[in-house]
Amino acid sequence: MTAQNLISAEISQETKTEILQMLTEIKNKMGFLLTLQPGEIQGLVKAGNTFSPFIEKAYNAVNAHPHIMPAVFDTEEFKRDYNLSKDLAIIASHMEQLSNTVNNTLLAANSDAMTGSLEVYAAVKQHRDKVPGLNVVAEEMAEFFKRAKKKEDQPVNK
């Protein structure tokens, strides 16, 4: 069997600690980040990419003609929201790219580890009766490949 090796790398404990600290620092610098529940998200007005030009035009209109807005409209808060959305879009794009590459690398590393594990399992099964203790290991590993038994006594609902 040919061994798969999509990725060959290591992260030192020091590097992992530094990365996690940097991620914590990033999160702390953006202390305003929200955690919304599904019901809260569902109730929000969604302004995906389709409406970016609309929001841009509204921002430009407020800047060019502030006198048209009613006194109860908080122009400064609108401008803060607009600028924050622009800034977060750039940050989110970079984070998404990083997240995608980390997730792809994780997928490859897990695939390499699983491919290697299958080779180990094959060797364990082959030598289970020759090496003391391997029989137990083989049985424990086999548990991952057992299929659930179909329930034959249950009536089928139509």
Give per-residue pLDDT as tens, 34-51: 999 999 999 999 988 889
Cα–Cα distance, 34 to 40 (Å, whole number): 11
Q: Note whether 128 and 134 are within 8 A (CB).
A: yes
Q: Label residue 113 by pLDDT band (50, 70, 90).
A: very high
Q: Note the helical H segments in 30-144.
A: 38-42, 52-64, 75-127, 134-142
Residue with tokens 């289970």: 128
Name the CA radius of gyration of the chain, rounded.
28
Q: Label residue 2 by pLDDT band (50, 70, 90).
A: low
Cα–Cα distance, 39 to 114 (Å, whole number): 38
Q: Note whether 108 and 6 are within 8 A (CB).
A: yes
Q: Note whether 129 and 31 are within 8 A (CB).
A: no
What is the arithmetic mean of pLDDT over 43-67?
94
Lowest mean pLDDT among 95-109, 117-131, 139-153: 139-153
Cα–Cα distance, 39 to 37 (Å, whole number): 5
